[in-house]
Amino acid sequence: MRRSVLVLVLLFSAAGFAPAAQNAPAAGLPDRPDSLKFAVIGDTGTGAKPEFDVGQQMAAARAKFPFEMVLMLGDNMYGRQDPQDFVTKFESPYARLLQAGVLFYATLGNHDSQSNRFYKGFNMGGERYFSYVKKNVRFFVLDSNSLDPQQRSWLDEALSRAREDWKICYFHHPLYSDAGRHGSDVSLRVALEPTLVKYGVDVVFSGHDHVYERIKPQKGISYFVAGSGGELRRGDVHPSAMTAAYFDQDNAFMLVEVAGDELFFEAVARTGMTVDSGVIHRQASDVRSSK
């Protein structure tokens, strides 16, 4: 089994940011030719200006960091969800990325219709939960709206069979969050976390809270909340002892690069400013800590 060690890299000392780290080394994204590069967005589907702004910044970032895929963390569609809405709330904001062949892989949020899993652009294959592999990473996509026994059984089996170096899960509702509007979904944590720990999941991405937050590793797992891709609750984070970094002053998205035993990440505001970055080192371990 593996565990991951997070190295803190960049934090700002300003309203809406976590306190600055002392003597933190600079990292950035190495952009290695053989690495897996992807972006992460959550709670996007408004069709409003902030979503378009984020989409433009993502396209600009891709000119320098050629990511090939995007994880969508749910609430991909708000309000009406007719065929035209998929154009105005998804295809238009991310037109440049879609035209470049970037693939989006979605999970469902509480505002999404269950039928959206059949929409071709979300690459869900009609499934509420599924798994796929990119290079040395296996992704597990869950439907946290209903973590029923069938889904839990599927996840246990899928994780037990995974042989890839990295295991990354993503779903809508966060197991850990310091945001005031929703916060940690404790009941989901009780049901899901033991399985994630048992099988050595490295990283978990969630949305739902309309902020960016990085949680200090919990039981060996690195957690991110990235729910401000289209919606924002300014000033909603109330940092606690588990807060590693946060940004709740503007919309944001993430860029991620998995290179060998290292996972590099950056959180980028819709202005293009990097608001958090760091690297997670994957290390061999026989037992995942339960503390």
pLDDT in tens, 246-273: 999 999 999 999 999 999 999 999 999 9
pLDDT score recorded for residue 18: 53
pLDDT score recorded for residue 247: 97
Kindly give, in sequence order, each residue whose CB lies less than 8 Å from that of residue 134, ignoring residues fewer than 6 positions away: 36, 38, 68, 69
Q: Report residue 284's pLDDT band, with 50, 70 and 90 as the boundaries.
A: low
CB 168 within 8 A of CB 205: yes
pLDDT score recorded for residue 26: 39
- What tokens appear for 61 in the block? 């970032």
Mean pLDDT of the chain: 90
Q: Which run of H or of E encompasses 282?
A: strand 274-284
Q: Is the pLDDT of residue 290 over 50?
A: no
Query: Which residue type, as a one-letter code, is found at position 41?
Result: I
Kindly give, in sequence order, each residue whose CB lies less than 8 Å from that of residue 216, ignoring residues fewer than 6 positions away: 6, 241, 242, 243, 244
pLDDT score recorded for residue 263: 97
Calpha distance 69→38 (Å, rounded)? 5
pLDDT score recorded for residue 17: 55
Q: Report residue 174's pLDDT band, with 50, 70 and 90 as the boundaries.
A: very high
Q: Report residue 39's pLDDT band, with 50, 70 and 90 as the boundaries.
A: very high
Calpha distance 267→260 (Å, rounded)? 21
Q: Is the pLDDT of residue 11 over 50?
A: no
Lowest mean pLDDT among 23-27, 67-71, 237-241: 23-27
pLDDT score recorded for residue 286: 37
Q: Is the pLDDT of residue 8 over 60?
A: no
Residue 88 main-chain phi, psi, to 5 deg: -75, -25
> What is the pTM (predicted TM-score) of this model?
0.91
Query: Which residue type, as a one-letter code, is found at position 251?
Result: N
Q: Is the pLDDT of residue 92 over 90?
A: yes
- What tokens appear for 101 in the block? 């062949």
Q: Is the pLDDT of residue 187 over 50?
A: yes
pLDDT score recorded for residue 165: 96
CB 267 within 8 A of CB 274: yes
Residue 96 main-chain phi, psi, to 5 deg: -65, -40
Calpha distance 103→113 (Å, rounded)? 21
pLDDT score recorded for residue 27: 52
Q: Is the pLDDT of residue 217 over 50?
A: yes
Torsion of CA 274, 46, 235, 208, to 10 degrees: -90
pLDDT score recorded for residue 28: 76
Strands of the sheet containing 130-134, edge to edge, are: 130-134, 137-141, 166-170, 203-206, 221-226, 212-218, 243-247
Calpha distance 131→111 (Å, rounded)? 22
> At 8, is the secondary structure helix, strand, or coil?
strand
